[in-house]
Structure 1
Amino acid sequence: MLATLTKNEPNYIATFNRHYLHSIDEVWAMLTDNDKLPTWFPELKVDDLRKGGRILFDMGNGTFEEMTITDFHDQSVLEFTWADDSVRFELTSEPEGCKLFLIETITKLTDHTPRDLAGWHVCLDVIGMLLDGKQVENRKQMWEPLYEKYVQAINDLTK
């Protein structure tokens, strides 16, 4: 399911909604454990897991972008800066697993926005696949059709 895109002056909000047949503990570990993070987002590393702490993004050239953790509640909320935007993960328990919301607040739509949205979409799908014990064959093949759908979704939003 594609993210829901809305305009919330002056920003845009992308909300991803996933249900995983796994416990909050398992999903939280995927988001915050530096042994598990690289399995779905190799560039991310938690440097200091607390409100006011840091997540590092490996730029691939020996430098790291520091992202500040702006909200944190163990096992339920992780929010951090993402350039001029913010990314927020929220977890809630359900009878059969847990629900994850990823909410990205986007300050300005750019040509890169649909790339990021398709990337987050794939990341969330990969988390589910890995938790289910499945192999991820080709992320790019998963990403390409989603990118086109997010380009269209943004075009529809801005008409």
Structure 2
Amino acid sequence: MNVNYQTDTTHAYQTITINIQAPQAHIFKLLATTDGIQQWFPQLSFEEEKAGSRLLFDLGNDQYEYFNITDYEPKHHIAYTWDNGHVDFTLEETNENVQLTFKEALPYTFKTIGNDFTGWYFQIQSVKKLAETGQPLSQSDFDFASKTKEIEDILNI
């Protein structure tokens, strides 16, 4: 896994590249369908699985956030807004596996950048484990606080 953090005058960026030993179509299903995404991020669901539709984030108590699906290319690419930021997943077959590249951009007005980047860092590893073994990572086995501090130190936020 390769992780890169960058900043500019308005945004913080996270890029994660990870190799997954599973069929590309299976990985895309985990990322871009309600049945798939709820296996590793149960609060999310798709209104429709296509560009121009929306992703729903269930906050509980009948409250939802809605994110716009900006790109949906089966087996290869899905992207959507994430609050006032953006996330992007690209799959590419290599000789032995599939490379998943995840990119996130959040403006500094997003109050919990470190927490969000940590969450996606965990979730990308969870997708890999789920695709390869059928089981996502356990949140109880991950040190969110330490990773968040590390990311905030790298980003100087």
Residue 77 (structure 2) aligns with:
77
Q: Percent identity?
A: 22
Offset of 1:110 from its aligned partner?
A: 5.4
TM-score by length of structure 2 reads 0.88
Cα distance change of structure 1 residues 8 and 93 upon mapping to structure 2, 3 Å threshold: farther
Equivalent residue of 2:47, what SS?
strand
CA shift at 1:152, angstroms? 2.4
Q: How many positions carry a matched residue from both structures?
A: 157
Is residue 22–residue 131 contact of structure 1 (8 Å, CA) maintained in 2?
A: yes
User: Which residue of structure 2 lines up, in the alignment, with residue 41 of structure 1?
Assistant: 41
RMSD: 2.1
What TM-score results when the alignment is normalised by the length of structure 1? 0.87
5+ unaligned residues in a row in structure 1: which ranges?
none
Deviations 1:88-141 (A, max 9, x none): 111111111210111001111655222212211221111121222254563132
Q: Aligned equivalents of 2:71 and 2:135: distance in 1?
A: 32
Structure 1 runs, 4 residues or longer, greater than 6 Å off: none
Contact 1:114/1:147 (<8 A) preserved: no
Partners of 2:128 and 2:100 in 1: CA distance: 11
Q: 1:150 aligns with which of 145, 148, 151?
A: 148
Q: In structure 1, what is the equivalent of residue 86 of structure 2?
A: 86
Deviation string for 1:5-28 (max 9, x for gaps)? Answer: 101342221001110011210100
Q: CA deviation at 1:80?
A: 0.5
Alignment partner of 1:130 is 2:112? no
Contact 2:16 2:121 (C-alpha < 8 Å) held by counterparts: yes
Asked whether the equivalents of residues 2 and 121 of structure 1 are also in contact (C-alpha less than 8 Å), the reply is: no
Task: Report the residue type matching 2:154 in the other structure.
Answer: D
Are the aligned partners of 1:88 and 1:104 in contact in 2 as well (CA < 8 Å)?
yes
Secondary structure of the 2:151 match is helix
Q: Distance in 1 between matches of 2:86 and 2:106?
A: 7
